[in-house]
Amino acid sequence: MNRVPDILLEWYQQQARTLPWRETKDPYAIWISEIILQQTRVNQGLDYYRRFMEAFPTVQELAAAPVEAVLKQWQGLGYYSRARNLHQAAQQVVSLYGGVLPGSSEELLKLKGVGPYTAAAVASIAFSERVVTVDGNVNRFISRLFSMAEDPLSARGRQEIVTLASAMAGQFSPGLFNQALMEFGALQCIPHPDCEICPLKNYCEAFRLDLVSELPVRKKKMKVRDRYFYYAVVRFQDQYWLRQRGAGDIWQGLYEFPLLETGSEIADFSELASALETLFSSRGSISLSSCSEVYVHVLTHQKIHAVFCVIQTSETPQFIDNNATPYSFSEISELPVSRLTDRYLHSGWINP
């Protein structure tokens, strides 16, 4: 195994992708890239990173921005708590650290939304702290290389991964070695790899034991929950009513049409019309005009079945929760919304 780090770094120097956050030592830029790339593929995150850095080129500008502006830049990436935490963390950096990101993983962990992986990545790449980064790609690579019997997501498994990766890192540049680890897992040691072209196949225990497809050990998958959303799309005098989602559920802080959530699908039109009336405090002047197709939106452990229902009204609508506000179509385009709502807005079902 003593040859593995040298081979790994040689591979990285030849195969590493050219990415903007690899061309800087700016801890802010590296931090932004790491947060964006959580739960996001590089190809998808690249354009978001560029736009985000253009909108908020410094931590001071990010901290001073309204959270709605941050969420709007994040729109489509999903896992919006990342954006809210990033915004709060930027405010922490400004208020507690004078606008300069702290240079150790221990201090970085004090920032909102920064976990062990992100702290280690920023500290090692930007500040050369000798600490290993462990993400899903590293888990897969190390599990196979050493034929680990532990689930890398368990407490014992995480510690074993850190111990093995740290031993491999030796005296190599921490930032360079960590990026090589992650890149190898992202490009070569993928879920279904071509092991015959792998430069480390002669050192890989999983390859030797024919266990590559079995590793890493996987915990049981969480059951996916089905949810049924019926949105009330109300237009009156060229305005539409939207509300901002509260805490405690998906899409916190994003805007959407008033929502009726049910425990199961409502297929009958008249039954749906009656159900939607419960959203309004005044029922006499509303009627269900039409319904969109069913939009299926899959989240990590949830599957959303959404229908957008066009409501006709002869007067200003009044909603039970009093949380809906009128916006023009152009104003809606400036609001942060979920990808689901954005799909509907661009579908042609409603007209400006």
Could you list the active site residues?
A: 34
Q: What CA–CA distances, in Å, run from 337 to 69, 245, 253, 331?
A: 11, 10, 9, 12
Q: List the structure tokens of 294.
A: 């069913």
Burial tier of 92 (Cβ tally within 10 Å: 0-12, 13-18, 19+): middle
Q: Is the dihedral of CA 93, 96, 97, 103 positive or negative?
A: negative
Beta bridge partner(s), residue 242: 325
| 192 contacts: CB under 8 Å, gap ≥ 6 | 213
Dist. CA 304–CA 4, nearest whole Å:
45
Type of residue at 5: P
Backbone angles phi, psi at 121, to 5 degrees: -65, -50
Is the Cβ–Cβ distance between 317 and 286 less than 8 Å?
yes
Beta bridge partner(s), residue 287: 312
Q: Which of 38, 127, 139 is nearest to 86 (CA)?
A: 38
Nearest-5° angle of CA 227, CA 233, CA 237? 165
Is the Cβ–Cβ distance between 234 and 319 less than 8 Å?
no
- Whose structure tokens read 């240079």? 103
Q: Which of 197, 217, 221, 195 is nearest to 208 (CA)?
A: 195
Torsion of CA 178, 23, 104, 90, to 10 degrees: -120
Dist. CA 77–CA 41, nearest whole Å:
10
